[in-house]
Structure 1
Amino acid sequence: MRELRIHLDADLRDPRVAVFLEEHLADMRRVSPPESVHALDLGALRQPGIRFWTAWFGETLVATAALKHLDQRHAELKSMRTAAALRGRGIAARMLAHVMAEARALGHSRLSLETGSQPFFAPARALYARHGFQACGPFGDYAADPSSHFMTRAL
């Protein structure tokens, strides 16, 4: 397998990123009720306070992740996705480690996330648990939702 390159994508103009994110949103809409889809689209990812990374094997986009600034010490992990054909190969773990290191470097001491409670999201919940995330209550602007599973960890 080629070397994984992770880089900050400031403008999100690459059409491959748009296609990748639309697949992500389509999955979220397919498995979650409309009011429980909290994935960010391209416009939301371009907002101030959000950093977005892409991961590539050569010219192939294989993963994405974003970091949303909540306050001076707290950030939220958003838009974590690995290409379906490459899941289970450690790409998500590398992407998560990268975003956690970036969050620390930015001065954050806590990283939280929202993911689904449905079986589709079980691998994601297991990944986050392996990396020290624990279940928590809603944070930021979230409200309690039976379709959401909230997790957090100290950095």
Structure 2
Amino acid sequence: MQRTIEIRTDDLSGDATRRLIASHLAGMHDTSPAESVHALDVDALRHPSLSVWSAWIDGELAGVGALKALDSDRGEIKSMRVDDRFRGTGVGRAMLRHIIDEARLRGLSSLWLETGTTEDFAPAQRLYASEGFALCGPFEDYALDPFSVFMTRAL
């Protein structure tokens, strides 16, 4: 049976959201050197340039994702994370599509992202590629890094 994924704006005050973001950040530090970790903590996600959403299935937090305004034309996907219990259920794709739709509503012309290069990040890279993201070079304040892959897509 297909379960309904509800995506809603998240104010980052809920314990479940805060735990998932902390777990995401810890996981990034487990797989990459500190200087290569670009994930944001809860306080950084509260920046006015960011909007955060959470995905829920049957009252349980299934994932999070954020959109950062880089300028009036470009946005960056940040802090995409699916709770391990919900991997492979379509939560990541639903969140990604939600962020893409929101970026279009805001009149953005492109989306950008940074993700990791280790095997742990292969599913994320496949997801982004399947939704039209292509490899590109570093953007904004990012630099070439063996632990980072950069991707973009036009809207």
Answer yes or no: same fold by TM over 0.5. Answer: yes
Counterpart in the other structure of 1:123: 123
Q: Secondary structure at the match of 2:102?
A: helix
Identity %: 50
Q: CA deviation at 1:2?
A: 3.3
In 2, distance between residues paired with 1:150 and 1:2? 32
1:2-151 superposed matches below 5 A = 2-9=3-10, 11-151=11-151
Alpha-carbon distance in structure 2 between the residues aligned to 1:21 and 1:137: 26
Looking at structure 1, the residues matched to 134 and 72 of structure 2 have their Cα atoms a distance apart, in angstroms, of 21
**2:42 aligned partner, one-letter code:** L
Residue identity matched to 2:41? D
Question: CA RMSD for the aligned pairs?
Answer: 0.8
Deviation at 1:59, TM superposition (A): 2.1
Aligned to 1:153, the other structure's residue is in SS state strand
Rounded to whole Å, the distance in 1 between the matches of 2:126 and 2:3 is: 26
Mapped partners of 1:109, 1:49: distance in 2: 17
Tell me, what secondary structure is at the counterpart of 2:6?
A: strand
Query: What are the ranges of 5 or more consecutive residues in structure 1 without an aligned counterpart?
Result: none
Tell me the TM-score normalised to structure 1 length: 0.97
Amino acid across the alignment from 2:8:
H
Which amino acid counterpart does residue 130 of structure 1 have in structure 2?
S
| Structure-2-length-normalised TM-score | 0.97
C-alpha contact (below 8 Å) 2:52/2:67 kept by paired residues: yes
AA aligned to 1:114 is: E
Aligned residues: 154
Contact 2:6 2:57 in 1 (8 A): yes
CA distance in 1, matches of 2:90, 2:4: 12
Q: Which amino acid aligns with 2:49?
A: G
Instruction: Kindly provide the CA deviation profile for residues 12-51 of structure 1, in whole angstroms up to 9, marking residues without a partner as x.
Output: 1111111111110111010011100000100000011100
Is the Cα contact below 8 Å between 2:62 and 2:85 reproduced in 1?
no
Cα deviation, residue 58, structure 1: 2.6
For residue 82 of structure 2, what is the amino acid of its counterpart? T
